[in-house]
């Protein structure tokens, strides 16, 4: 049976479902194709949401064991019920995916279960368990996201050598978890299992962790995570992994010296690659980057076939859920003849360790490299009353502004709730604010946000 739509979206993750809602708002007859039984893509099912649920639960456990006594709360013997913790995580995921389905249905968006493949400039074929549908559409949007990148010689087996998906559902706390990759995913999952009692070793090829962050943030974060028990082996390359007697012998090389370690689980978290398999790109002649596999699009998110668009992890840029959402909305606006646009200069990113790291704009290193005249203001969380009251004094706020115009160029926060604090800075940069503008804005007292105001004042009066 053939059906006709204004827009057919393949993928129901943060890019796909936001695009669908925007399309419904603009009056498009819309279908969203999803091969999985639940909606929400990687983010809601095996990414952002379950990992944050476990990060919060593990932080509560750590606080109860290590910090409650400082507040005069005597708890006695603390024990871990991992099954209950995992059950809570799964309920959070189920609640959100159920809400998403209702949201799409209430907006009269057709949800089509099955595997979608492009069969023409205006046609998508959906293979279901007992049927095959042909969906005809004026426009097609590809939003299938990404999958964990594999490393030759360290192929995933789902039991010993695992991806982030399996690391969210361990049945017991590993004795020793080894992680290949010191990026955002490795640091977050390493934090979860270290708090719950695992020995955690992170192996990173580069000389530093979380390489895209500001250098001062990285150095301070590494020092804090080491105090929390994470062990880092930098400038190190894994050469092999041998499985025997349920243990994994990991061989690695550091500056020409070969070493080994044994662990229970080996998590490979070296990044993600676009999920393009089965979309029919080659048959359609849709252009991709031969090196990375990303789909090539123009400023309106169109591929070389004008009726076919792509967003999110499928196209170049950081693999961030909020990036995909912004692009999904912009792409649909462009289809409607509006001016859909995403400002990548104000795209925030967050590492959900504790303390958290949030950033937007350029780093100090980038300002120097680009020879931009700049000034820097910073303020430690230890100088704020709220942080002292909560016993969360690690970290600082760092603001980089133009030395002549005072316009904010970048903000880097390492500290409690940096993921929330960075939003103020994104908004300030979106409106072209100066550090003086932030400094003169009255902030509630006592709050963590006062550190942002103080850092702005430091930059303004530098």
Catalytic residues: 445
CB 158 within 8 A of CB 186: no
Crossing angle for the helix pair 48-66 and 82-106, to the nearest 10 degrees = 140
Main-chain phi, psi angles of 165, to 5 degrees: -60, -50
DSSP assignment string, 359-393: EEE--HHHHHHTT--EEEEEEEGGGSHHHHHHT--
Residue 222 marked ligand-binding: no
Residue 187 marked ligand-binding: yes
CB 5 within 8 A of CB 136: yes
Residue 361 marked ligand-binding: no
Residue 293 marked ligand-binding: no
Residue 153 marked ligand-binding: no
Look at residues 150, 204, 202 and name the one whose alpha carbon lies nearest to residue 176.
202
Residue 183 marked ligand-binding: yes
Burial class (CB in 10 A: 0-12, 13-18, 19+), 72: exposed
Distance of CA 51 to CAs 84, 184, 271, 333, 353, Å?
Answer: 15, 12, 16, 32, 11
Query: What residue has token string 């926060």?
Result: 413
Residue 156 marked ligand-binding: no
Helix (H, G, I), strand (E, B) or coil at 350: strand
Residue 52 marked ligand-binding: yes
Residue 211 marked ligand-binding: no
Residue 68 marked ligand-binding: no
Residue 185 marked ligand-binding: yes
Residue 278 marked ligand-binding: no
Helix (H, G, I), strand (E, B) or coil at 456: helix
Element (H, E) at 278: none
Residue 28 marked ligand-binding: no
Element (H, E) at 192: helix 184-195
Count CB atoms within 10 A of the CB of residue 461. 11
CB burial readout 373-403, b (16+ within 10 A) else e = ebbbbbbbbeebebbeebebebbbbbbbbbe
Residue 144 marked ligand-binding: yes
Q: Which residues are annotated as a binding site for FAD?
A: 52, 116, 144-146, 313
Q: Which residues are annotated as a binding site for NAD(+)?
A: 181-188, 204, 271
């Amino acid at each position: 049976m053939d059906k006709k739509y204004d827009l057919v979206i393949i993928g129901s993750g943060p890019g796909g479902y936001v695009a669908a809602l925007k399309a419904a708002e603009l009056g498009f007859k819309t279908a969203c194709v999803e091969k999985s039984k639940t909606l929400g893509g990687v983010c809601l099912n095996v990414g952002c949401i379950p990992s944050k649920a476990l990060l919060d639960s593990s932080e509560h456990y750590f606080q109860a064991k290590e910090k409650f006594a400082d507040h005069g709360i005597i708890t006695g013997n603390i024990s871990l019920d991992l099954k209950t913790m995992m059950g809570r995580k799964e309920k959070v995921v189920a609640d959100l995916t159920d809400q998403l389905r209702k949201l799409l249905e209430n907006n009269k968006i057709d949800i089509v279960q099955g595997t979608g493949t492009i069969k023409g400039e205006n046609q998508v074929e959906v293979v279901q368990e007992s049927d095959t549908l042909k969906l005809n559409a004026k426009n097609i949007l590809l939003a299938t996201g990404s999958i964990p990148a594999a490393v030759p010689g360290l192929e995933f087996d789902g039991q010993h050598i695992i991806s982030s998906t399996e690391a969210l559902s361990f049945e017991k706390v590993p004795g020793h978890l080894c992680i290949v990759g010191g990026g955002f995913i490795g640091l977050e999952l390493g934090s979860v299992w270290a708090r719950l009692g695992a020995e955690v070793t992170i192996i990173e090829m580069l000389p530093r962790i979380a390489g895209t962050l500001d250098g001062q943030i990285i150095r301070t974060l590494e020092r804090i995570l080491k105090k929390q028990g994470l062990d880092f082996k930098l400038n190190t390359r894994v050469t092999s992994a041998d499985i025997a007697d349920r243990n994994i012998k990991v061989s690695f090389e550091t500056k020409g010296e070969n070493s080994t370690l044994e662990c229970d689980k080996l998590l490979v978290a070296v990044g993600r690659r676009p999920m393009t398999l089965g979309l029919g790109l080659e048959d359609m002649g849709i252009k991709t980057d031969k090196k990375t596999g990303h789909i090539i699009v123009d400023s309106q998110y169109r591929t070389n076939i004008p009726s076919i668009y792509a967003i999110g992890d499928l196209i170049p840029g950081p693999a961030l859920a909020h990036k995909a959402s912004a692009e999904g909305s912009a792409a649909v606006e462009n289809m409607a003849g509006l001016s859909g646009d995403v400002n990548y200069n104000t795209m925030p990113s967050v590492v959900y360790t504790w303390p958290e790291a949030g950033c937007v704009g350029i780093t100090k290193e980038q300002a120097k490299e680009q020879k931009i005249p700049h000034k820097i203001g910073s303020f430690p969380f230890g100088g704020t009353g709220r942080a002292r009251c909560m016993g969360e004094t690690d970290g600082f706020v760092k603001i980089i502004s133009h030395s002549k115009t005072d316009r904010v160029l970048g903000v880097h926060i390492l500290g409690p709730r940096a993921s929330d604090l960075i939003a103020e800075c994104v908004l300030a940069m979106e409106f072209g604010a100066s550090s003086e503008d932030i400094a003169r804005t009255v902030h509630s007292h006592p709050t963590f946000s006062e550190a942002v105001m103080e850092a702005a004042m430091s930059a303004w009066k530098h």
